[in-house]
Structures are given as C-alpha cells and as structure tokens.
Structure 1
Amino acid sequence: MSATVLPRCIRIGILVPSSNTALEPLSTSILSSIPASYNDHATAHFSRFRVTTIGLSASALAQFDIDKIIDAARLLADANVDVIGWSGTSAGWLGFGADEELCRRIKEATGIQATTSILALNKVLKSLEVKRLGLVTPYTSDVQKAIVKNYISIGVEINSEQHLSRTDNVNLASLGAETFDPMVEAVAKGGVDAITTFCTNLKTAGMVEKWEKEYGVPVLDTVTTVVWDCLKMCGVETTEMKGWGCIMRW
C-alpha cells in the first residue's frame, strides 16, 4: 500500500503599500485558484509600510526607504512564511537594482527567499524575449519616463504607453474597466510583444484574460507576477490556475 501524501500548506508573505486596497483580495483570489486536485494549498499573509503618494519628489521617494520595508518583512517572518514578495512597482522608477538589493536584504534579515512584482515581471519578459512592451499605468509623466528609461537599460523598448497622471495611490483601486479597456486597446495598437498593467493598486488582474483574447499578446499584471513567482519559488505548479492570464502556463 502506498503511503498517503499529505498536502503542503504554503505561506506566502506579501509586502503591501499602506494605502493599497486592491492587491490583498486579488492575491488571495489568485491563490484560491490553485486546483483542489493539487497537493498544495497556499495562503497569503500581509505586512504594510507607509506609502500614500506616487511621485519623484524627495518625500515620495523616501517612502521606499529599504529599512522600513525590512521592518515589515521581519513581521512576516514571525509567521514563518515560506517566501516574501514585495507587491509593488517602485523599482520601475527607482531602478531594478533597488529590488535586487531589497531581496538580498530580506534574505539576510529573515533567512527567507524573496521576490518582487518587477523582478518577476522582468523574468517573464526575458523568458518571452519581449523587445517591445506596452505600458499601462496610473502614474505621472515623469514617473512614466523613468520607467521607460529603466526598461531601455535592459533592452526592452516601451514603444506604446498610456498613463493617467495620478499621484493619489489610495483612490486608484476604485478605477475599473471603463478606464483601462481603452488604455489597453490603445497600447495594443502600438505593435507590442506584450503589455503590462503596472501598479499593484489596480483591479486589473481579473481583466487580463479578456485582453489577451482580444489582442493576442500576453498581458502581465503586477499583482499577478509576484504571486506567480512566489508560487514558483515554492515549487508550486501553476499551469492549471485559471482566470489570471497566460503567465500561469509558464
């Protein structure tokens, strides 16, 4: 008689900007789509640090002080999580090295492996050999330009973009399909290899499959990317997770 294989219970720790209200229910929903037939069960556990506005001013940039984020990560470590993910896009304008250093510091401080929305996104872009990326954000023009510049540095041209010129992070979660459908359509017409909805306080993760069917290119949402990478780092198969786009098939 073969031994019974007990299901694994995996704890995903997620770092959250304090004014964000979209990513927690979305992350939980993504994890709930792990098929019951899998021998894995995953739960999300959250820790916040203060972020209220998005911009390039000194005060806005100071919100992402790495020591504050490490303090929040240590609280997740108290729950014995298996992995820690920073569900945020700040490395888009701070530079990708900021997230690489953050993951190194989290591992050093807690002993727990870490990833981020942007490092996960970039991993997928590299795997797909994306050279032309469509960018959809709620951010201001100067933040958008910084993101474009950082992607050029890794050989990815953002040749089609849309942004809303917003700085008020807390209110972004109230935006719906009536806002993002035309933005994604406009970007898709730019001749891109993939599109990203680039902000973790947007409720766009559940819209991705519709857009992929309409425009025939991968659409990568930054709430989904970090959850996907956390699962991969824990050895969880994602190919049968439905409703979140083609990223789950990789």
Structure 2
Amino acid sequence: MKALPEITLHPIRPPLDARPIERRVGLIILATDHTSEPDFRRMVASERIGVYVARVPYANPTTPENLRKMQPALTAGAALILPDEPLDAICYSCTSASVVIGDAEIEAAIQAAKPGVPVVTPPMAGVRGLKALSARRISILTPYTVETSRPMADYFAARGFDILSFTCLGFEDDREMARIAPAALVDLAREATDASADALFVSCTALRGALAVGGMENAIGRPVVTSNQATAWNCLRLCGDETEHPEFGRLMTLRLGQ
C-alpha cells in the first residue's frame, strides 16, 4: 500500500464570522408535523436567515387534553436548538395547543431554556396580523372538531374580535389535516367567510394554507391570515426583514404592528 502523506497542521486559523448566518429563527414543531418546516423554508429561510428545528412528542387525536400534554416538552425542545447560542425569534408551531396551554405559559417554558428570546405562537401572530390588516369583524376556519375549536373562538373573542362565523371540519388527526389540498382550502374559504367579515383567519399549522392564501384572498375578496403565514411574517419582522412577499397574501406586505 502506498504510504500516506504526512498530515500538516496549518499554522494560522482562518478568521471567523460572528455567526454562520446573520439571523436565527428557532422552530418547535410536533413530531407528526408535515407542514411547518416546508412553510418556514419557503417563507422565512434565506441566505440571511437560518431556520433551526426541534420536534417534540405528540400523539393524536387532536383533543385539548392531548394538546396540553406537550407543555412539559417545550423547555427541552427549545434547549436543543443551538444550545447556549442566542436566537432572534422562536416559534412554537401549534395553533390549537397554544390556545389551550396559553401564550404566557408557552413563553415561560421556552424562555426557561432561551432567556429573553422573543416567542411567537400562531394565535398570537394571527392576532397581530389581523390587527395589522385593521380587521375586527372576522370569520374563522379550522380543521378541528367542535371541542377543539371552542377554545379558539374564546381566544379571539377575548382579544376584541367580533366573530361573525366559525366553521370547523371535524378532523382529529393532524396528519390528515396536512393532506387537505390547497385548492380545497380555497373552496372552503369561500363557503366559510361571512359577507360582512373584514378578514378570514384559517387556523392550524398542519394545513397547507400558506400555499392557498392568494387563491383564498381572490375567492373572498378580502385578506386571509393563516397560522404559518402569520408566524412566518412575525418571525421575519423580528429579524428585521421588511421584504414584501405578496405571493403569500396581503399580510406579507405589512410591517409588524402596522
């Protein structure tokens, strides 16, 4: 066998950038999630912004009881995302669980591992998005059962929205929710939106709603806010990215708090 060359240690280390990528967004998703990761890849990730993902245990069916069971895993999930390094934002990507656990409780659990990081949840981002669009009278569409939808209605009503209509589809498995075609969401949006509503909120990070926003807005003639679109928008703005992305709906053309 031919002799191997001597391994030479270079005498000078190359200079290091402050970060491999300028901005960092953490994303905590369900073990069963098919949609959040691709959505954040297409709407958030770029040469300037990295998206770093951790999955937490979750078992269907999607009931308030099962959703609450995720809370103890949130601190450990957050700790696994670039340990001991700061993030610019971190999103817990489950709308229904955020509602039943509570935004404040989720923020506390995540900040136990990532002190001071801005925490985003889908309903929180949805509220911010609807307010940025000056929407007060809304319709809501969810894929959940009636039992899981009730806390969602309470959440938005408690934040001052007038809910003119609320439609749910009765699904119990988030993996099936992810299989609803974007074109079907356009038809459902048309049926679910009250004629007097300012906007439609489409709940659930499992839905491929971000791919259907343009079609839904064209179909109903008013803004549409979806879970993943709203969290992507919120995280982009927290990273200082004000780029407009009208292909993902009117919300993606606005500033945070506008």
- TM > 0.5: yes
Aligned counterpart for 1:43 among listed residues 32, 39, 50: 50
Amino acid at match of 2:76: D
Counterpart pick for 1:185 among 173, 186, 190: 190
* 1:160-185 deviations in Å (ceiling 9; x for gaps): 22211011112211110353222100
CA distance in 2, matches of 1:223, 1:79: 27
Q: Give the aligned partner of residue 64 of structure 1.
A: 70
SS at match of 1:109: coil
| 1:1-250 paired onto structure 2 within 5 Å | 9-31=22-44, 41-53=48-60, 54-56=62-64, 58=65, 60-65=66-71, 67-78=72-83, 80=85, 81-90=87-96, 93-94=99-100, 98-111=102-115, 112-239=117-244, 241-250=245-254
Q: Give the residue type in structure 2 aligned to 1:156.
A: F
Q: Shift in Å at residue 199 of structure 1?
A: 0.3
Does the Cα contact within 8 Å between 1:83 and 1:230 map onto a contact in 2? Answer: yes
Q: Look at both structures and tell me which one has the larger radius of gyration over its CA atoms.
A: 2
Partner of 1:37: none
Instruction: Give me the whole-angstrom Cα distance separating, in 2, the residues matched to 1:150 and 1:141.
Output: 14
AA at the equivalent of 1:55: T
Aligned counterparts of 1:109 and 1:79: Cα–Cα separation in 2: 9
Q: Classify the secondary structure of the residue corresponding to 2:125.
A: helix
Please identify runs of 4+ aligned residues in structure 1 that moved more than 4 A. none
Distance 2:183 2:237 in 1: 33
Q: CA deviation at 1:21?
A: 0.5
Shift of 1:91: 5.0
Q: Percent identity?
A: 24
2:12 counterpart residue number: none
Give the SS at the match of 1:21: coil
TM-score (norm 2): 0.82
Contact 1:218-1:247 within 8 A present in 2 as well: yes
* 1: CA distance, partners of 2:170 / 2:234: 29
CA distance in 2, matches of 1:232, 1:64: 27
**In structure 2, the residue corresponding to 1:196 is in which secondary structure?**
strand
Cα distance in 1, alignment partners of residues 114 and 151 from structure 2: 31
Shift of 1:74: 0.8
Q: Which amino acid aligns with 1:118?
A: P
User: 2:194 and 2:55 mapped to 1: Cα distance?
Assistant: 37
| Higher share in helix | 1
